């Protein structure tokens, strides 16, 4: 096996056993980046010297019998809205050109404390909205990798790095993970700190995790989850043992959501999803079709209102000074959000509370809900990042969701199934996802 094909869990275990050094792994991944980056364009900034220096330091620690944590020596990427001390953090925008933070986002700090190595900053759409990044999909470079966490998904999908951070406010982590054939988790709102991340909409922003296996996602969540005094929205609930949870696998009770999702999925997506559901049922899952609550009908409109108003609030001063530097789509979001009446924003927050309450009753009946992850395979062209409508309900509600590869479209692009669970039920969600991953198999690699 090539070193770039190792999952994070496999690489960490090999480093612990002294069968692999952090230096060897970093050099193998940098070689992979050098070969593919001119085509894929996943990276906004690659910290070659810093990664090599840290790999040598971590290698010396291994030689002395000292390990910092479960990710010792494992490289990762961070979307370029995550503050990274001493490295450019430009959010895909001329507005932030040249900005270099003096501290790490809490997520970045926590994985570094666990021994991980920051390889660099991955491209994002401008301020994590709609104006696209230059990144191509490693499965077909003429197609989008999704967004807004475009570079994060492409870097992991192309085997340039085993782990990456993205974010999701509507559909910006789970969708690109699916488009690039990955496992992607959006945890419960507040499960992971947002401190040190450039916001889009404070009350809907989530950290997203991307990897190539459920086991890697569980490991990364273990390291990053937990209360952060610097983020008043972060949960104070105890963090379960996620790696232990995925060992307790049993056939899940699955609520299949055909309404809305299958109606809007194209024929290819519907076919592959139906085949995946059949395979899960044959493997022992208890699958029952179920209906969405009444409030679902207005959650997409409410979500978009919240995003526009909160984005306008964050960008108000910057926009007043540098409006001409913003690209068209993010500028329209800010300017529209500034015009939305407060009563409409408050009504959207009320809709969100009602939807959360109604979903709680539905989720009590199942371990997970299941939908297709995306309406279509990754669209052709880099002008659009695809449609987030299959993720938006779980972003506005803050419910955890995960995508798993489940097959390929007729054109050879990866497709996924999306699982949703109750608030702070990541342990149950990951357990069900690991069982489904066993039944469906892990997705193949792109032929780059």
Catalytic residues: 79, 148, 172
Question: How far apart, in Å, are the Cα atoms of 386 and each of 15, 143, 305, 319, 409?
Answer: 38, 10, 19, 26, 16
CB 415 within 8 A of CB 407: yes
Is there a cis peptide before residue 148, judged by omega within 30 degrees of 0? yes
Q: Would you call 87 exposed, middle or buried from its count of C-beta atoms within 10 A (0-12, 13-18, 19+)?
A: buried
Instruction: Record the tokens describing residue 180, joined without a space.
Output: 């690039």
Per-residue burial over 171-198, b = 16 or more CB atoms within 10 Å of its CB, e = otherwise: bbbbbbbbbbbbbbbbbbbbbbbbbbbb
Question: Nearest to residue 419, comparing CAs of 443, 397, 442, 390?
Answer: 390
**Rg of the chain's alpha carbons, rounded to an integer?**
20
Give DSSP secondary structure letters for 213-231. Answer: SHHHHHHHHHHHBS--TT-
CB 222 within 8 A of CB 241: yes
CB 99 within 8 A of CB 318: no
Instruction: Record the tokens describing residue 419, joined without a space.
Output: 């699982």
Question: Nearest to residue 120, comparing CAs of 148, 92, 82, 172?
Answer: 82
Specify the pairing of strand 368-372 against strand 414-420: antiparallel
**Rounded Cα gap, residues 126 and 131, in angstroms:** 6
């Amino acid at each position: 096996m090539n070193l770039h094909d190792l999952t994070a869990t496999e690489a960490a275990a090999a480093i612990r056993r002294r069968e692999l050094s952090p230096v060897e792994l970093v050099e193998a991944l940098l070689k992979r980046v050098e070969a593919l980056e001119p085509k894929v364009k996943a990276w906004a900034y690659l910290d070659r010297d810093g990664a090599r220096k840290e790999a040598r330091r971590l290698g010396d620690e291994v030689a002395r019998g000292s390990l910092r944590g479960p990710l010792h020596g494992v490289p990762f990427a961070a979307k370029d809205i995550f503050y990274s001390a001493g490295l450019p953090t430009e959010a895909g925008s001329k507005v932030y050109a040249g900005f270099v933070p003096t501290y790490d986002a809490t997520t970045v700090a926590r994985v570094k404390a666990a021994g991980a190595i920051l390889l660099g900053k991955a491209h994002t759409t401008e301020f994590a909205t709609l104006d696209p990044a230059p990144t191509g999909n490693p499965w077909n470079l003429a197609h989008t990798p999704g967004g807004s966490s475009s570079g994060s998904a492409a870097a992991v999908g192309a085997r340039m790095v085993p782990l990456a951070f993205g974010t999701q406010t509507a559909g910006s982590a789970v969708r690109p993970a699916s488009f690039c054939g990955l496992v992607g988790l959006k945890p419960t709102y507040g499960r992971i700190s947002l401190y040190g991340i450039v916001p889009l909409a404070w009350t809907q922003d989530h950290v997203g995790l991307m990897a190539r296996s459920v086991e890697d996602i569980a490991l990364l969540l273990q390291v990053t989850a937990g209360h952060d005094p610097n983020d008043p929205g972060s949960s104070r609930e105890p963090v379960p043992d996620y790696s232990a949870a995925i060992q307790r696998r049993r056939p899940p009770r699955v609520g299949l959501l055909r309404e809305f999702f299958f109606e809007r999925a194209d024929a290819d997506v519907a076919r592959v999803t139906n085949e995946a559901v059949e395979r899960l049922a044959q493997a022992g899952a208890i699958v029952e079709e179920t209906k969405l609550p009444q409030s679902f009908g207005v959650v997409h409109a409410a979500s978009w209102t919240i995003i526009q108003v909160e984005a306008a609030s964050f960008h108000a001063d910057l926009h007043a000074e540098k409006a001409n530097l913003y690209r068209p789509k993010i500028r329209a979001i800010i300017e529209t959000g500034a015009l939305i009446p407060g009563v409409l924003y408050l009504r959207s927050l009320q809709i969100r509370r009602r939807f959360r309450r109604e979903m709680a009753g539905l989720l009590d009946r199942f371990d997970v809900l299941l939908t297709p992850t995306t309406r279509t395979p990754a669209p052709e062209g880099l002008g659009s990042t695809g449609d987030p409508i299959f993720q938006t309900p779980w972003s506005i509600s803050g419910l955890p969701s995960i995508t798993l590869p489940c097959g390929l479209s007729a054109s050879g692009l990866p497709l996924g199934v999306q699982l949703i669970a109750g608030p702070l039920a990541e342990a149950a969600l990951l357990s069900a996802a690991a069982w489904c991953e066993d039944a469906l198999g892990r997705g193949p690699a792109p032929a780059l």
